[in-house]
Amino acid sequence: GLGRRVMAALSSMDQPLGAAIGNALEVREAIEVITGRKKGTALERVSCQLASRLLFLSGVCSTIPEADAKVEDLLNSGAAAEKLKELVKAQNGDPRIVDDPGLLPQAPVIHQVKATEAGYLKSLAARQLGLAGLKLGAGRLRKSDPIDPAVGLVLQKRVGDRVEVGDVLCDVHAADIESAKQAETEVLKSVSLSRQPVNPPPEISEWVE
């Protein structure tokens, strides 16, 4: 071997780890986690577990419980948010976005995708959600394709949630209503409902060393 200790997290792919899909929307969600404005979410839990393991593997902390406590302290004290500002500034970005995510690009159209059936959310097909992002301009099919940093999706339901007809499944952030409607079609295709209650999948099913 190379003398390096490594760990791999086996995380669920039955749904996105976070709620946001799209460049500025994902940055906003990451900022909300690191500033403590988005506590108790799947993304926060997974991010904290990954950060904790990094502190443990790098030798900064001697045990995982110690690393867990340090991560919590860095978040609660604001030290993590200050470090993010440093990283943004080092890459010639505007560090003010950490305190004011409203400075990030924002799409002119926000369209709600509503459930047409009732049930328990069984899965969210990642491929269809990716296609929805492509319809909006959040990703590329070819290297030459432009990317709109403002567009994307924000999911409002997670696997295991009860869904009623008319519930908002997702907010589509789009450049125009036409692309929003195209994305809505893909989002609805991604949704699989069950009549029976569904147990949410574990965010991290196993750590491999």
Domain that holds residue 180: 105-194
- pLDDT for the residue 209: 87
Q: Is the residue at 79 inside a domain? A: yes
Same domain, 90 and 121: no
Same domain, 66 and 34: yes
Longest pairwise C-alpha distance within the chain: 55
Same domain, 60 and 113: no
Q: Is the residue at 85 inside a domain? A: yes
- pLDDT for the residue 208: 94
Same domain, 71 and 89: yes
Q: Is 183 helix (H, G, I), strand (E, B) or coil?
A: helix
Domain end point (choices 44, 69, 102): 102
> Cβ(11)–Cβ(201) under 8 Å?
no
Decide if pLDDT at 2 tops 90: no
pLDDT per residue as tens digits for the range 45-92: 999 999 999 999 999 999 999 999 999 999 999 999 999 999 999 999
Residues constituting the chain: 209
Which uninterrupted H or E stretch holds 52? helix 42-57
Domain end point (choices 70, 102, 134): 102
Q: Residue 111 sits in a domain of what CATH number?
A: 3.90.1170.30
Domain end point (choices 34, 68, 102): 102
Q: Is the residue at 1 inside a domain? A: no
Q: Is the residue at 133 inside a domain? A: yes
Confidence of residue 4 (pLDDT cuts 50, 70, 90): confident
Tokens matching residue 172 = 């589509």
Number of independent structural domains in the chain: 2
Same domain, 44 and 115: no
Decide if pLDDT at 38 tops 90: no
Q: Is the residue at 69 inside a domain? A: yes
Which uninterrupted H or E stretch holds 136? helix 126-136
Q: Residue 78 sits in a domain of what CATH number?
A: 3.40.1030.10
DSSP 36-48: TSSTT-HHHHHHH
Decide if pLDDT at 1 tops 70: no
Q: Is the residue at 199 inside a domain? A: no
Tell me the pLDDT of the chain averaged across its residues: 94
pLDDT per residue as tens digits for the range 88-123: 999 999 999 999 999 999 999 999 999 999 999 999
Confidence of residue 16 (pLDDT cuts 50, 70, 90): confident
Share of the chain above pLDDT 70, in %: 100
Q: Is the residue at 61 inside a domain? A: yes
Same domain, 66 and 151: no
Same domain, 40 and 56: yes
Q: Is the residue at 50 inside a domain? A: yes
Decide if pLDDT at 150 tops 90: yes
